[in-house]
Amino acid sequence: MPDAAAIPPSAPRRPHVLAMHGVTWVDHWHWLRDQNDPATMEYLQAENAHTDAFLEPLKPLQEAIYDEIRGRIKEDDNTVPEKEGDFYYYVRYEEGGQYPIYCRKQGSEDGPETVLLDVNQLAEGHDYTRVGAFENSPDHRLVAYGVDFDGSEQFTIHVLDLETGETLPDTIPNTYYSLEWGNPPAADTLYYSVLDEHHRPVSIYRHTLGNDPADDELVYHEEDPRFFVGAGKSNSGRFIYIVAGGNNMAEWRFLDADDPNGVPSLIEPRHTDFEYDVVDHGDRFFIRHNGNNAKDFMLSTAPVTASGWNNWTEFMAHEPGRPLLGIDAYREHLVVACRHDGLPQVMVMRLGDEDVHYISGVEEDDFAMSPRGGREFDTNSLRFGFTSMKTPAAVYDYNMDTRERMLRKQQEIPSGYDGEHYETRRVWATARDGTPVPISLLMQSGTAIDGTAPLYLYGYGSYGLTMEANFSISALSLVNRGFIYAIAHIRGGMEMGWDWYENGKLLNKRNTFNDYIDCAEHLIAEGYSSAGRIAAVGGSAGGMLMGAVVNERPDLFGCVVAHVPFVDVLNTMLDDTLPLTTMEYNEWGNPNDAEYYHYMRTYSPYDNVRAQDYPPMFVTGGISDPRVTYWEPAKWVAKLRSLRTNDNPLLLKIHMDSGHAGASGRFERIREIAEEYAFVLSAFGMGDGSTSSP
C-alpha cells in the first residue's frame, strides 16, 4: 500500500454562509480558522507530512543547494563597527553559530572586545529566537533588548548590567519593536511600545529602572485602530519621537530625552493622505512631507518651538519623478535618500550654503545604494551601502566635505566568486495600459536568449516598498544551473515614485497583477524564457500577487512559490480584530464599502480559485504569524485541492515554530531556501541538481 503521507490530504467541507452587499457565498473552509479545533491541527499536520513525503526524494538536491549557499557565507563575519562616544559597537558571528553576537570595543576598533549579548546562548532550548531592539544606555553601562521566542513578534524586554554581567529584574512583557533610553538625568528611563489585545502597538510607556513595570507611566495611547505607534530617538540624541503611523498618514510628537517626566508635544495633526517625518537640527526641524500636492515629497523647516503647519517654510522643492525617501541630519550636513529614473541616489547638502552634490562613481546600470544613519551627530562621515545583482555588498565611509570614500567592508564569498561570469540587465516591459515597467535580470554571461532558459520571476508590488536589485548568495544556486533571475518592479511599489505606488493600490490594485503578467509575457516575447518555464515567486503581499496571477494565467508558469501569502483578502479585511486590518484600509480598501468590496472580490485569490489546471505550487505559512494568519494559506490550498482539474504537486508547509519571517537561525533559513529551490528545480525536470557553475 502507498504511504498515507504520499496521498494529498483533503480538508472536508463545512459550509459557512456569508452575505454582504447583496452577495451570498459559502466558505467551505472557514472552520480552519479555529486553531483549537483538533481537526484543524490534524489537517495542518497531514499537509506537512505530505510535503515532507514529496520532498524526501529531493533531499540530496536540498543538501547540495544548502552546502552551496552556506559555502558562500563567511561564517565568522562581523559588521563594520559604529562609533558612539568612546565605544565601537558591532555584531559578529562565529563559525557554526546560528545567531549574532553583540559586541563592542573601547577606545578604538583595535581595542579589546567585550561581548554584550550572545544570542546563541540566549537561544538554547528554543526552536525560534529573535532579538528585536538592542539599545545601549547613554552612559554605556547598560543594554536593553527585546526577545521573541515563537515568531509572534511579541517581545519581552530585558536589561543587562554590562559591569556585572547580570540581568536586572526589570522584565517587561508584551512589547513591540520600539525601545529607547532617555538621556541624563533621565538615563535610567526606557521608552517602549506595548501591544493591545489585537496585537497592535498602540501605547508608549516610560519605565524607570528598579520600578515595577506594572506601574510604568503611560506616555501616549492611540485610540484610532488605523494607526500603530512607535518611539525613537533623534539622530542628535536630543528628543524622543513618538510616531502614530497609519497607511499613508502620520502624526509626530516629541519630548526632551533628558526629562524623566516629559510630556509629548505635537508637531502637526494627522490629515488624510498626509505623510511627514522629522529630524531635528538645532532650533529647527527638517520635515519631509507630501503636503501641497508634493506627491514625491518635499522638504520644509519649522522652529522647534512652533512646529505646526503654518510655520513650515519650503527648504527643498518638490520634484515630480524624484521621490525623497528619507532624511538624516548631521551637524553640518543633510543627507537625503531619493530615486531618479527608478534607481537610488544619495544627496548630500552642506548646511549653511546649501551646496548639493550626489554620491557618484556608480558604473552599473542597475544597483542598490542607501545611506546608513549612524550613531553620531557631530561628524562629516556618512556610511552607505552599495550592491547590485552581481556585485557583493560593500560598505563605504564617505567624507561629506572632501567627497572621498573609503571601502570599509566587501562581502566575502569563501567558496569563490567572479562577477565577470555574470551579467545584469535592466529591461522594460510595456504594460497593457502602455506603462513601461522595469525588470532587473541576472544571468550567466553568454546565456542564450532563445526561450530555453528557465526563469525565476520575483514580484511584490505593495505598500510602496521598493524591491532593490541586491546581491543574493542564494540566487546563484539557480543562476549557476542555467536560470535567469528576475525582479519585476511592478506598480504598487515605489520604484518610480509616488504615482507608481498609487496606481497599484486600492481601486488600482489590479495593475499590480497585470504588470506582473505583462512582465512575464515580455520576457517570453524577448526570448528570456518561454511559457511554462517561469517560476513565479512572492511572499506576504507578494503571495497575494502569486494567487492572483496563477488564477488569471496558470499557463505562463512552470511552478508557483507563495510564502506566507495574503490570499483570503475579503475575510481578512472584514475582520477588524486582526492586527493589520484597520490599518490597511488605505492600502486595499474597506470592504464594508460596497465599491471596495466588489472590486476586492474580483481579485482576492481565495475567492477566485476556479476549476482549471494549476501548475505545481509550494505554499508556506507560520503558525505564530500575526501578519498573515496560518489559515489563509491553509484555506487556499484546501480550496485549490478541491477545485483544480489536474494533479500537479500542491504542497503546503506550515512552520509550527515560527511566524511571518520564517526560521530565525541563519542556517535554518538556508534550509528553507534550499527546500524551495529543490521544488522549483524538480518542477522544471532539473531534480538531478546538475550545475553549470562558472
Per-residue model confidence as pLDDT tens digits over 334-348? 999 999 999 999 999
Look at residue 442 and give its three-state secondary structure: strand
| pLDDT at residue 188, rounded to an integer | 96
Q: Give residue 348's identity as a one-letter amino acid code.
A: V
Distance CA(318)–CA(300), nearest Å, equals 10
**pLDDT tens-digit series, residues 172-195:** 999 999 999 999 999 999 999 999
- Catalytic residue, chosen from 530, 540, 604, 664, is 540
The CB-based long-range contact list for 133-138 (8 Å cut-off, 24+ gap) reads 133/157, 133/177, 133/178, 133/179, 134/102, 135/179, 135/180, 135/181, 136/84, 136/87, 136/89, 136/104, 136/181, 137/181, 137/187, 138/181, 138/182, 138/183, 138/184, 138/187, 138/237
pLDDT tens-digit series, residues 233-272: 998 999 999 999 998 999 999 999 999 999 999 999 999 9
Q: At what angle do helices 541-552 and 510-525 cross, to 10 degrees?
A: 60
Report the mean per-residue pLDDT for the chain. 96
pLDDT at 141 over 80: yes
What pLDDT score does 690 carry? 63
Cell of 267: 508637531
pLDDT reading at 10 higher than 90? yes
Can you give the pLDDT at residue 1?
Answer: 30
Q: 55 vs 9, 179, 402, 630, CA distance in Å?
A: 16, 42, 56, 21
Q: Each residue of 78-105: b (16+ CB within 10 Å) or e?
A: bebbbebeebbbbbbbeeebbbbbbbbb
pLDDT band at 689 (very low <50, low <70, confident <90, very high): low
Closest by CA to 237, choosing from 157, 325, 135, 324, is: 135
The string of pLDDT tens digits covering residues 150-164 is: 999 999 999 999 999
With contact defined as beta carbons under 8 Å apart, do 242 and 231 qualify? yes
Out of 27, 625, 655, 658, which one is annotated catalytic? 625
Q: Which three cell numbers stand for residue 46?
A: 497531514
Q: Is the pLDDT of residue 50 over 50?
A: yes
Per-residue pLDDT band at 519 (split at 50, 70, 90): very high
Task: Please confirm, yes or no, whether 625 is among the known catalytic residues.
Answer: yes
Predicted pLDDT of residue 527: 99
Closest CA to 314 of 281, 330, 333, 292: 292
Q: What is the mean pLDDT of residues 128-148?
A: 97
Strands (E), 495-545: 534-539
Identify which of 544, 518, 516 has the alpha carbon closest to the alpha carbon of residue 605.
Answer: 544
pLDDT at residue 594 is higher than 60 = yes
Q: Average the pLDDT over 601-623 and give the result.
A: 98
Task: Answer whether residue 309 shows pLDDT above 70.
Answer: yes
Distance CA 637, CA 644 (A): 10
Please report which residue ranges of 72-167 form alpha helices under DSSP H.
119-122
Q: What is the pLDDT of residues 26-38, one digit of tens each?
A: 999 999 999 999 9
Half-sphere exposure at residue 441, Cβ-oriented, CA atoms within 13 angstroms: 27
> For residue 48, what pLDDT is reported?
97
User: CB neighbours (10 Å) of residue 481?
Assistant: 20
Supply 302's cell numbers. Answer: 519649522
The pLDDT of residue 692 is above 60: no
Residue type, 494: M
Per-residue pLDDT, 2: 43
Residue 375 pLDDT > 90? no
State the CB neighbour count (10 A cutoff) for residue 408.
13
% of the chain exceeding 90 in pLDDT: 94
Report the Cα 432 to chain-centroid distance in Å: 29
Check residue 688 and give its pLDDT.
80
Residue 304 has pLDDT above 50, yes or no: yes
Q: Read off the C-alpha cell for 499.
A: 504615482
Per cent of the chain over pLDDT 70 is 98
Active site annotation includes 660: yes
Contacts 24+ apart (CB under 8 A), 501-505: 501/464, 502/295, 503/435, 504/461, 504/462, 505/462, 505/587, 505/588
* CB contact at 8 A, 144 and 133: yes
**Cα dihedral across residues 311, 316, 321, 325: positive or negative:** negative
CA atoms within 13 A on the CB side of 522: 24
Q: Which residue has the cell 549557476?
A: 480
From the list 258, 660, 664, 682, the catalytic residue is 660
Cis upstream peptide for 414 (omega within 30°): no
Active-site residue 77, yes or no? no
Q: What share of the chain is helix, strand, coil (3-state, %, to 5)?
A: 20, 35, 45
Residues 4-70+424-683, CATH architecture: 3-Layer(aba) Sandwich (3.40)
Q: What confidence score (pLDDT) does residue 154 get?
A: 97
CA end-to-end span of the chain: 45
At residue 3, the pLDDT reads 63
